[in-house]
Amino acid sequence: MTGMLNPTNFESLQSQIKKFQDISQSKTVKITSNGISIEINLEMKVQSIEINPDQLDMSDVVKVEIAMKSAFNEAVVTAQQELAKTMMEAVKNDPNLLNFGGDQQ
Output the DSSP codes for 24-48: HHH-EEEEEETTEEEEEETT--EEE
In this prediction the pTM is 0.74
- How does pLDDT run across 6-24, given as a tens digit for each residue? 566 677 778 778 887 888 8
pLDDT digits (tens, 9 = 90+) for 37-77: 999 999 999 999 999 999 999 999 999 999 999 999 999 99
User: Could you give all domains of the chain from N- to C-terminal order, each with its CATH number?
Assistant: 28-96 (3.30.1310.10)
